Amino acid sequence: MTIYSHSRLETFKSCPLKYKFNYIDKIEREEEGIEAFLGSRFHEVMEKIYKNLPFRKHSLDELLDFYKDDWNKNYHDKIIIADNERKAKDYKEIGKKFIEDYYQRYYPFNQGKVLGTERWVIINLDDKGEYKLRGIIDRLNQTKDGTYEIHDYKTSKSLPEQSRMDEDRQLALYQIGVQSMWNDVCNVELVWHYVAFDKEIRSKRTEEELDELKKDTIDLIKKIEATREFLPNESILCGWCYYKDICPLHKHEYMVGNLPVNKYLKDSGVKLVNEFAKLDDKKKSYKVKIKEIDEELEEIKEAVIQYAGNIGVEVVIGSDHKLKITSSEKINVPGKGTKERESLIELLSQLNRLEEVSVFDVAELKKAIKEEKWDSAILDEIKKFVEVETVKSVRLSKSKRED
């Protein structure tokens, strides 16, 4: 039985292929984003504060020295700084500010009793113990009135809204774990410290919400376990992904992206895409031209119809050509999905005329097969009559490299 974690589930949700690389193929990477590195250093400082709390309270200078040493000791050359405008020392300085703000806000750190720091928690999602998760709580506290607080430190540079945190999965899952640890856990509060903003966000969950969360999480695990094809999902998170060198969406960019211009332009793939883009531009310029010509033709058509009507003729001649004006009736039927369309279908059905005019909707059938809308037994029967082939297509879009 696989024991999941919040980050494992989130990885699947954000990109199934990254999930496969990380958790199934277990491909390890030495790279680490500077944001994650900073987060780890901040967590170390927090652990030092709260772990040693019953024995001693560290001064701010002691903590800043510890932070500096810990940063220098752990810094390595595989740390990635995605933001070109920032250097490692900028992040180090930001971290120092986080610690100073936190210290000033919470010293002497007596907002409750510390029950644990970096505490492991096991979360049973069902009674049979078939679906389990595990996680690490940054800090578990108990206040004077007996409330259990699950604390989490966030060093991210964006501050989520309350509504998002009220739906956050991670700490709510930890709450399920904490509730099973002791009999007196009645009141639980989830606390996030957004240290870049010197701000606390708090949230609570009802038993119904926790039950719903368990159900949703089991559904997600079932979905993961039923997945056979782990497809890449391009998103803003690709910027922090360490598998770009093997991801089919980024591998070519990874191979040639940092080459000098002369070598870059000689790459066969780059040459093909450049040629494609050039022709695509040409096609677009023709399309614009064709649209202009169509508009001009429409104007002339209107003028000729007017002219012919004025002099009572149906054929108007030019030097080498002539234009014949004909009239025909166009029938407009109410659009798909409209009420009028529904009424029309009902009427035809009542009149036993529907079969004569209804057509087999190929597009809908293809959609049903592609999205597996029906039972597999039905789909298997249908697939005996259709051919399912893999069609490759290309779509042109802008890439980052400008030279």
Footprint on this chain of ligand SF4 (rule: CB under 6 A): 15, 17-18, 232-234, 237-238, 241, 243-244, 247, 249-250
When the beta carbons of 75 and 240 are compared against ligand SF4, the nearer one is 240
CB of 253 vs ligand SF4, minimal distance in Å: 10
Helices (H), 26-160: 34-51, 60-74, 88-106
CB of 221 vs ligand SF4, minimal distance in Å: 20
User: What distance in Å separates the CA atoms of residue 175 and residue 133, rounded to the nearest whole number?
Assistant: 12
Three-state secondary structure call for residue 204: coil
When the beta carbons of 10 and 209 are compared against ligand SF4, the nearer one is 10
CB of 169 vs ligand SF4, minimal distance in Å: 19
CB of 152 vs ligand SF4, minimal distance in Å: 24
When the beta carbons of 17 and 38 are compared against ligand SF4, the nearer one is 17
CA-based nearest residue to 22, from 214, 175, 237: 237
CB of 234 vs ligand SF4, minimal distance in Å: 5
User: What distance in Å separates the CA atoms of residue 240 and residue 96, rounded to the nearest whole number?
Assistant: 23
User: What distance in Å separates the CA atoms of residue 318 and residue 323, rounded to the nearest whole number?
Assistant: 8
When the beta carbons of 5 and 233 are compared against ligand SF4, the nearer one is 233
CB of 16 vs ligand SF4, minimal distance in Å: 8
When the beta carbons of 12 and 174 are compared against ligand SF4, the nearer one is 12
CB of 135 vs ligand SF4, minimal distance in Å: 22
CB of 242 vs ligand SF4, minimal distance in Å: 8
Three-state secondary structure call for residue 203: strand
When the beta carbons of 238 and 348 are compared against ligand SF4, the nearer one is 238
Q: Are 50 and 58 in contact (CB under 8 A)?
A: no
When the beta carbons of 23 and 243 are compared against ligand SF4, the nearer one is 243
CB of 244 vs ligand SF4, minimal distance in Å: 5
- Only one residue has tokens 């292929």, namely 17
Give the pairing type, strands 315-317 and 199-203: unpaired
- Residue length, the chain? 403
CB of 131 vs ligand SF4, minimal distance in Å: 25
When the beta carbons of 42 and 243 are compared against ligand SF4, the nearer one is 243
Token pair of 182, please? 């002791």
When the beta carbons of 15 and 49 are compared against ligand SF4, the nearer one is 15
Cβ partners under 8 Å of residue 258, min gap 6:
none
When the beta carbons of 21 and 67 are compared against ligand SF4, the nearer one is 21
